[in-house]
Amino acid sequence: MSTKQRLSASVDPELIAAAEEAVAHGKAASVSAWVNEALRLKIEHDRRLSALTSFVAAYELEHGEISQEEIHMATRRARAISARALPPAKRKRAGRAK
């Protein structure tokens, strides 16, 4: 079992409320557990973002800078693929959101 360290931090009131609500609904064992998970997720997010940044930089070194048009087209394709994964009723609603 890992040793825990005490932490004192100033936190926005709405974040404390969210943590307390998660505990009240059984989604977290305690506010401390909720904060631990949030910090763990932030570390994972930052690592993935760093890996993506490195990947894009290596890709652009080999293939040239990715243009705004290529980004736009990739975004459109990704949205189309995501929409196809939705059930038919939700596809109609998603199509109207444009």
pLDDT band at 81 (very low <50, low <70, confident <90, very high): confident
Mean pLDDT over the full length of the chain: 90
Tally of structural domains, the chain:
2
Burial (0-12, 13-18, 19+ Cβ within 10 Å), 36: middle
- What pLDDT is recorded for position 92? 61
Report how far residue 28's alpha carbon sits from residue 74's, in angstroms, rounded to the nearest whole number. 37
48 plus 74 within the same structural domain: no
58 plus 16 within the same structural domain: yes
Domain assignment of residue 73, given as a range: 67-98
Q: Identify whether 25 is part of a domain.
A: yes
16 plus 62 within the same structural domain: yes
- What pLDDT is recorded for position 57? 97
- What digits encode the pLDDT tens for the residues 88-97? 766 566 555 5
26 plus 46 within the same structural domain: yes
Query: Dihedral of CA 36/38/40/43: which sign?
Result: negative
42, HSE (Cβ side, Cα atoms, 13 Å): 6
Report how far residue 93's alpha carbon sits from residue 98's, in angstroms, rounded to the nearest whole number. 10
- What digits encode the pLDDT tens for the residues 51-75? 999 999 999 999 999 999 999 999 9
Regarding pTM above 0.75, the answer is no
